[in-house]
Structure 1
Amino acid sequence: MKNVDKYARGYFMPPEMSLNWAKKEYITEAPTWCSVDLRDGNQALVVPMNLEEKLEYFQMLVEIGFKEIEVGFPAASETEYVFLRRLIEDNLIPDDVTIQVLTQSREHIIQKTFESLRGAKSAVVHLYNSTSVAQREQVFRKSKEEIIEIAVSGAKLLQKYAEETEGNFKFQYSPESFTGTEINFALDICNAVLDVWKPTADNKVIINLPATVEMSMPHVYASQIEYMSNHLDYRENVILSLHPHNDRGTGVADAELGLLAGGERIEGTLFGNGERTGNVDVVTLALNMFSHGVDPKLNFENILEIIEVYERMTKMKINERQPYAGKLVFAAFSGSHQDAIAKGMKWREEKDCEKWTVPYLLIDPKDIGREYEGDVIRINSQSGKGGIGYVLEQQYGLDLPPKMRESFGYIVKDESDKFQKELLPDEIYGIFMKEYVNVSTPVEFLHYAYTKSDDYETKVTVNIKGEVEELTGFGNGRFDAINNALQQKLGIQYSDLVYKEHAQETGSKSNAVSYVGITAADGSVYWGSGIDADIMTSSVKALCSAVNNLLKG
């Protein structure tokens, strides 16, 4: 590509390599989660949420299990100010939930922020100012010392107004654009703020290190976090928080490696909504932990309901391939994938497995409210016999013989290819019924009767092209006798008869399902199926269906 030389790596590695995080295998416990949907996410919407929408969204976040929720920038928006007052005055904040608000390091903004928080039972006041080289030089045109003074004066003002305001307050500081800041300068400014607040075991503060712009590969961010964690003053009384964005598409990786490197808290949004390419996706991050057997302490068991509220409130859509949440993320169209999933599911049933190990499915879709039917096995022209057979078995109780699955699979794939569309389960079932079940032309089975002597003598009544005839056959059983009668009357020969039967559903009123395959003289195999309350009748109907398919060629 042209112009590649104009780009430079704008991040800063720590002065000493910090790689202890790389020795850890996985995240062993959930971080403290802080949803920033109602601030960072909301300000990124084309049409921000109104008051009633914000109230509904807040309630959903509480139900999911968030214990910290950033509710806005009350000094910058009248809607957010009114929303915050409504939460406090109407006692809508549960006792175990802490709200968070954002403020710049400017006295009139800090003053109005504390006015909005009057009477809050538990609130985090989040102070920030930008510290990166680009921001210092291009936007503020200030020295490092002047940038530190902005942060320190803001920290002092937070203390002042907290003492004068009714409520219970905690403090948080973010060196905004941390990833573009020299690491030692980021450390200096954070320690300067900590020297003002002097956190204790009973009054901890939050230092939040945001990837305001994601500028490096995730391992660099992790090394930056580990270095800061190792060198922050008052470390035992500091909660180290991460706020990754997704400019490079690795926000989740930044968060995961950052947690290994010492992060204890995550600020993010549902489905990654946020400025530019978005914030870290809390749903993906939490369910990644879940897939490793770690309780994320957030409840996404009703993911479809959460998606409905999210899309209605934000006017945004979940991508079909969004991890865990997208409509197609559990779907398998490939024949080999479908076959592996179907066999994996059967293995679980047979072995009564405790752990989830089904091929191609990272987690059990049912654990987040998704269904196997319509979510996992999806049928189109790329599908195979395993997936098609799985759909019929799971939804309609039809367990086809393996070779019949293969034959039917070609019919379904041709149908999908012909109309260039995915086939729904009901459509697949309809094709099966039309092609194989109780086929009655040109030979329609009516009824039979038999007597047992040395050989079974069986009389079968059929309608052949409008004429009713009674045929007599002999064999080593009723089915064999009817089979012989049909071959003799119709003047046909076939061999290698395949037969299978089962109950379509449990209970005394269940239908019997039979499958019959016959091989014609030229080697072609023809299949038929019969469904009836009587097992023998279903068998004869299956045989007649196979014969009819042979006659039709």
Structure 2
Amino acid sequence: MADNKIFIFDTTLRDGEQVPGCKLNSNEKVELALQLETLGVDIIEAGFPVSSPGDFASVNEISKVIKNATVCGLTRAVQKDIEVAAEALKYAQRPRIHTGIGTSDLHIKAKFNATQEEILQRAVQAVKWAKNFVDDVEFYAEDAGRTDNEYLARVIEAVIKAGATTVNIPDTTGYCLPHQYGEKIAYLANNVPNIDKAIISCHCHNDLGLATANSIAGIINGARQIECTINGLGERAGNTSLEEVAMIIQSHKTLGFYTNIDSKQLNPLSRTVSDVMRMPVQPNKAIVGSNAFSHSSGIHQDGFLKDALTYEIINPEEVGADSSKIVLTARSGRSALAFRFQKLGFQFTRNDVDALYNEFVKVADSKKEVSDEDLEIMAKTYATQVA
């Protein structure tokens, strides 16, 4: 069963914070880290310690208060970065250094003006440096999504031999299609001789809206860690959404996977992150959007009122959301209208509802949503007319 656990690596405090306007202070980071641990996150990427004194302090403070989750610090394949990260993590009960380098031909030539062999040597050296300080070392092959599989396998084999315990295969630009990313993970699982010595991790970006799909393709093909953020925050179009992958795994039990995530905390934590990072959640966002459990179409409302399973695959309570909502618009039908009148305490017959519906449609055509106040006016006017 342990082999079917998917480790959740949350990088809201590092990659998520890279969103313009989402900068957090140290106290905010510590508070969110504690909530992430309570949520059931396995690894918290607390920051990039060498990037600023503030980030160093945040990682340091988080290391002091987190008891169960692994606390991770990001570095480049640079000795100073790794030394600073180790110092920031010195109080962590379960420290991890996350180091790496770009492996695609584009990164090798454009960023580093180097050769594949030089990059491989730098990757190995970075892992060895990190291994001097911690037992738990994760290596990221930046832009792995566009890296030649044969070369990527050579790099991964070498860094595992050097001591890496997790190997991160980022689709840094969000370019891969799900079958391509899944095939890349499967290639590594089948062609890296020592792959059994490390956990394969998915770190997918959402530039084409495929981050969640790619992460799921990754675990189906052998990965056992997903790197993600609350609300899908992250560089450019964002990262894999924690709440999405957690609920896909929970809902699709035939996949055979599980996580430690307490799903009832997803919506409350989503709102907290949104407030603290000053980044609104789009209403139609899966799982945590304000419309995720709202129904406005008459056909949908009628089915939902007969049996919620007709249009809801997740119970709102399961993810800590408010109860499902019947929203009255010009597309709503008589079933929804009768339901809302009943909720307001009006007992109307079917004939009454038929008569009221004509007035309702007129009001609904004139505004985006019909409110309870509108319904009460309609009901009282109708009662006066038939009295």
Normalized against structure 2, the TM-score is what? 0.93
> Residue 200 of structure 2 corresponds to which residue in structure 1?
240
Residues 141-175 of structure 1: CA distance to partner in whole angstroms, max 9, x if unpaired? 11111111111111221223x1xxxxx54011111
How many Å separate the matches in 2 of 1:60 and 1:301? 13
User: What is the number of equivalent residue pairs in this alignment?
Assistant: 382
The correspondence of residues 84-483 of structure 1 with structure 2, limited to 5 A, is 84-88=59-63, 91-94=64-67, 96-160=68-132, 162=133, 169-197=135-163, 205-293=165-253, 296-345=259-308, 358-372=309-323, 375-393=324-342, 395-398=343-346, 400-418=348-366, 420-436=367-383, 439=384
> Residue 56 of structure 2 corresponds to which residue in structure 1?
81
How many Å separate the matches in 2 of 1:252 and 1:47? 22
The change in CA–CA distance for 1:171 and 1:302 in structure 2 (over 3 A counts) is closer
Higher helix share: 2
The change in CA–CA distance for 1:390 and 1:295 in structure 2 (over 3 A counts) is farther
1:93 deviation in Å? 0.9
SS in structure 1 of the partner of residue 136 of structure 2: strand
How many Å separate the matches in 1 of 2:228 and 2:267? 20
Residues 449-503 of structure 1: CA distance to partner in whole angstroms, max 9, x if unpaired? xxxxxxxxxxxxxxxxxxxxxxxxxxxxxxxxxxxxxxxxxxxxxxxxxxxxxxx
Residues 348-407 of structure 1: CA distance to partner in whole angstroms, max 9, x if unpaired? xxxxxxxxxx212121123223334xx4210122211111112223x2354533333232
The change in CA–CA distance for 1:236 and 1:30 in structure 2 (over 3 A counts) is closer
SS in structure 1 of the partner of residue 94 of structure 2: strand
SS in structure 1 of the partner of residue 87 of structure 2: helix
Given residue 362 of structure 1, which amino acid in structure 2 is its aligned partner?
A: I
> Residue 68 of structure 1 corresponds to which residue in structure 2?
43
Given residue 6 of structure 2, which amino acid in structure 1 is its aligned partner?
A: P
1:296 deviation in Å? 4.0
Contact 1:103-1:125 within 8 A present in 2 as well: yes
Contact 1:178-1:212 within 8 A present in 2 as well: yes
Given residue 70 of structure 2, which amino acid in structure 1 is its aligned partner?
A: T
2:28 pairs with 1:34: no
The correspondence of residues 510-529 of structure 1 with structure 2, limited to 5 A, is none
Given residue 85 of structure 1, which amino acid in structure 2 is its aligned partner?
A: N
Deviates most, 300-309 or 174-183? 300-309
The change in CA–CA distance for 1:423 and 1:30 in structure 2 (over 3 A counts) is farther
SS in structure 1 of the partner of residue 325 of structure 2: coil
Structure ranking higher on relative contact order (CA contacts 8 Å, 6+ apart): 2
1:314 deviation in Å? 1.2
SS in structure 1 of the partner of residue 153 of structure 2: helix
1:207 deviation in Å? 0.8
Residues 54-109 of structure 1: CA distance to partner in whole angstroms, max 9, x if unpaired? 11211221121112100011111211111122233xx3111x21101111111122
How many Å separate the matches in 1 of 2:9 and 2:346? 48
Given residue 335 of structure 1, which amino acid in structure 2 is its aligned partner?
A: G
1:45 deviation in Å? 3.3
How many Å separate the matches in 2 of 1:169 and 1:435? 74
SS in structure 2 of the partner of residue 406 of structure 1: helix
How many Å separate the matches in 1 of 2:131 and 2:328? 62
2:23 pairs with 1:56: no
Given residue 19 of structure 2, which amino acid in structure 1 is its aligned partner?
A: A
Contact 1:287-1:296 within 8 A present in 2 as well: no
Given residue 313 of structure 1, which amino acid in structure 2 is its aligned partner?
A: V
How many Å separate the matches in 2 of 1:303 and 1:154? 36
How many Å separate the matches in 1 of 2:302 and 2:177? 37
1:233 deviation in Å? 2.7
How many Å separate the matches in 1 of 2:100 and 2:167? 10
How many Å separate the matches in 2 of 1:287 and 1:248? 21
Given residue 239 of structure 1, which amino acid in structure 2 is its aligned partner?
A: I
Higher strand share: 1
Larger Rg: 1
Contact 2:176-2:214 within 8 A present in 1 as well: no
Given residue 78 of structure 2, which amino acid in structure 1 is its aligned partner?
A: R
Contact 2:66-2:92 within 8 A present in 1 as well: no
1:47 deviation in Å? 4.3
How many Å separate the matches in 1 of 2:44 and 2:209? 24
Residues 20-74 of structure 1: CA distance to partner in whole angstroms, max 9, x if unpaired? xxxxxxxx95510010011111122324111111112112211211121000111
Runs of 4+ in structure 1 over 6 Å off? none
Residue segments in structure 1 that go unaligned for 5+ positions in a row: 1-27, 163-167, 200-204, 346-357, 440-544, 549-553
SS in structure 2 of the partner of residue 104 of structure 1: coil
Contact 1:30-1:295 within 8 A present in 2 as well: yes
Contact 2:230-2:270 within 8 A present in 1 as well: no
Given residue 351 of structure 2, which amino acid in structure 1 is its aligned partner?
A: K
SS in structure 2 of the partner of residue 124 of structure 1: strand
Given residue 381 of structure 1, which amino acid in structure 2 is its aligned partner?
A: A
Given residue 103 of structure 2, which amino acid in structure 1 is its aligned partner?
A: T
Deviates most, 320-329 or 230-239? 230-239
SS in structure 2 of the partner of residue 126 of structure 1: strand
The change in CA–CA distance for 1:44 and 1:371 in structure 2 (over 3 A counts) is closer
How many Å separate the matches in 2 of 1:412 and 1:381? 8
The change in CA–CA distance for 1:304 and 1:253 in structure 2 (over 3 A counts) is closer
